[in-house]
């Protein structure tokens, strides 16, 4: 019985390589093994020099996103057996610079996330003595979906605009901004408007829709962006028709 | 904002043919290209209106011109692109429209269905005007 699968793993050594190369490893693939198990097997038994990111191995931390046979995937949630008889090709996430082997630089992504001010903003804090901000389940439902993002960057790897336009803020950041804009406790949507309604914000999105398809948490960034386009368009229409109300 | 230059990091430039790499990318590009054919149909409609405005002879000349094989093929291709655009767009409509009825979100397929219904009603109205009116 052939109980091994070939993994073609992208290698890149910054000290010498000009291009990615591929190294093949034969790994076992029991039914419960995910791609990350295969990489860990390589690291532990076959080649300790292989570099990749991982942490929780249960779809929470968002560290182990890689390109598996051309598709952005969380390697902890992608079963090797689904790719039998192989080979299965593992590459770093697309649209990000590769530091080494399967490790990409996340700096650009992190800077764009913080640019949308992803935290609760209050115009005036109410005193503690007045108690907590209560929310109904319906109010929670408005933004809950967008709060499930684990920052795995798969959406940005699947988005051709993110790859073509280096300034585009990206699906993850916009979905995260909507998570706060739609939160009844937040009052900072006007502060986020500048970044979001910019040409490199929502209007950079051409609605390819791949971000939502690859999202492992069903956040639906494409939906968040289209909803915000509607909000921004209505906002500018209102400020045009009723300039006295301010933008 | 983009990651600063780092001499040792590998950057893979996107291929000019990135839109051939995945079926969904190709479908997206075809939807974008459809705008060219929609523009052509608008021009065609305006030419028709102008011909009608200039009288019977001009209208007949327009009809003869539009019966040319090349133009018929162009219009068939344009129509298929318009239909493709409409279908893919209506299927995406639930992403942009989140409608609440009695504090409950309306399911996506109902929003898409309402778009199709509006399309059918508008088409029926046009057909009634052209054929029966």
Residues linked to residue B109 through DSSP beta bridges, in sequence order: none
C-alpha–C-alpha distance, residues A244 and A105, integer Å: 46
pTM of whole model > 0.90?
no
CA-nearest residue of chain B to A10? B10
* The pair of three-digit structure tokens given for residue B31, joined into one six-digit string: 């939807």
Q: Inspect the interface and report whether the beta carbons of B8 and A14 lie closer than 8 Å.
A: yes
Q: Give buried/exposed letters for A21-37 (b at 16+ CB in 10 A, else e).
A: eeeebebebeeebbbbb
B28 part of contact set with chain A, CB < 8 Å: yes
Contacts A175 to B, Cβ<8 Å: none
Min Cα–Cα distance to chain B from A44, Å: 26
C-alpha–C-alpha distance, residues A241 and A128, integer Å: 40
What is the CATH architecture of B1-78?
Answer: Up-down Bundle (1.20)
3-state secondary structure of A159: coil
Who contacts A29 (Cβ-Cβ below 8 Å, separation ≥6)?
A3, A4, A5, A38, A80, A81, A84
Q: Inspect the interface and report whether the beta carbons of A207 and B92 lie closer than 8 Å.
A: yes
φ and ψ of B54, to 5 deg: -90, 0
Q: What residue spans define the domains of chain B?
A: 1-78
CA-nearest residue of chain A to B8? A14
Q: Does domain A107-245 have CATH number 1.10.1060.10?
A: yes
Per-residue confidence (pLDDT) for residue A119, from 0 to 100: 95
Which of A14, A108, A222 faces B1 most closely, judged by CB atoms? A108
- Across chain B, which has 133 residues, the per-10-residue mean pLDDT values are 69 89 90 94 96 93 94 96 91 80 83 93 93 78
C-alpha–C-alpha distance, residues A244 and A187, integer Å: 21
Per-residue confidence (pLDDT) for residue B95, from 0 to 100: 79
Interface test with chain B among A102, A223, A227, A230, by most B beta carbons within 10 Å: A223
* The pair of three-digit structure tokens given for residue A208, joined into one six-digit string: 């390819």
Contacts B98 to A, Cβ<8 Å: 223, 227
H or E element, residue B27:
helix B23-53
Min Cα–Cα distance to chain B from A1, Å: 34
Per-residue confidence (pLDDT) for residue A59, from 0 to 100: 94
pLDDT digit of tens for each residue in chain A (247 aa)? 468 999 999 999 988 888 899 999 999 999 999 999 999 999 999 999 999 999 999 999 999 999 999 999 999 999 999 998 989 999 999 999 999 999 999 999 999 999 999 999 999 888 889 888 899 998 998 899 999 999 999 999 999 999 999 899 999 999 999 999 999 999 998 899 888 888 888 999 988 889 999 999 999 999 899 988 888 888 888 888 888 775 4
Per-residue confidence (pLDDT) for residue A246, from 0 to 100: 59
Burial, B87: exposed, middle or buried (Cβ in 10 Å; 0-12, 13-18, 19+)? middle
Q: What residue spans define the domains of chain A?
A: 4-104, 107-245
Phi-psi region of B6 (alpha: psi -120 to 50; beta: other; left: phi over 0): beta
H or E element, residue B105:
strand B104-105
CB A180, CB A191: distance < 8 Å: no
Which of B1, B2, B95 faces A222 most closely, judged by CB atoms? B95
Per-residue confidence (pLDDT) for residue A1, from 0 to 100: 46
What is the CATH architecture of A4-104?
Answer: Roll (3.10)
C-alpha–C-alpha distance, residues A172 and A152, integer Å: 9
């Amino acid at each position: 019985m052939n109980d091994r699968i070939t993994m073609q793993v992208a290698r890149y050594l910054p000290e010498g390589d000009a291009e990615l190369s591929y190294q093949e490893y034969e790994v076992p693939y029991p039914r419960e093994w995910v791609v990350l198990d295969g990489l860990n097997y390589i690291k532990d038994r076959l080649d300790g020099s292989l570099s990749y990111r991982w942490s929780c191995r249960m779809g929470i931390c968002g560290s182990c996103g890689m390109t598996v046979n051309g598709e952005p995937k969380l390697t902890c949630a992608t079963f090797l057996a689904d790719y039998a008889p192989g080979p299965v090709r593992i590459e770093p996430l697309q649209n990000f610079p590769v530091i080494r082997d399967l490790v990409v630089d996340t700096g650009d992504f992190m800077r764009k996330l913080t640019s949308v001010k992803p935290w609760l903003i209050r115009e005036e804090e109410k005193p503690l003595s007045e108690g907590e901000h209560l929310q109904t389940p319906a109010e929670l439902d408005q933004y809950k979906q967008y709060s499930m993002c684990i920052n795995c960057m798969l959406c940005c790897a699947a988005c051709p605009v993110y790859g073509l336009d280096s300034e585009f803020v990206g699906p993850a950041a916009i979905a995260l901004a909507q998570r706060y804009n739609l939160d009844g406790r937040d009052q900072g949507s006007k502060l986020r408007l500048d970044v979001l309604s910019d040409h490199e914000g929502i209007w950079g999105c051409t609605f390819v829709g791949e971000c939502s398809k690859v999202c492992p948490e069903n956040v639906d960034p494409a939906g968040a962006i289209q909803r915000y386009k509607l909000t921004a368009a209505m906002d500018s229409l209102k400020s045009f028709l009723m300039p006295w109300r301010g933008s | 904002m983009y990651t600063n230059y780092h001499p040792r990091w590998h950057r893979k430039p996107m291929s000019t043919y990135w839109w051939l790499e995945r079926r969904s990318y190709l479908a997206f590009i075809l939807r974008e290209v459809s705008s060219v054919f929609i523009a052509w149909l608008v021009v065609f409609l305006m030419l028709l209106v102008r011909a009608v405005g200039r009288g019977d002879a001009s209208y007949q000349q327009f009809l003869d011109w539009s019966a040319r094989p090349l133009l018929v093929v162009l219009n068939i291709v344009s129509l298929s692109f318009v239909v493709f655009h409409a279908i893919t767009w209506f299927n995406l409509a639930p992403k942009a429209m989140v409608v609440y009825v009695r504090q409950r979100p309306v399911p996506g397929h109902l929003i898409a269905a309402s778009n199709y219904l509006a399309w059918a009603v508008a088409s029926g109205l046009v057909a009634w005007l052209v054929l029966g009116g």
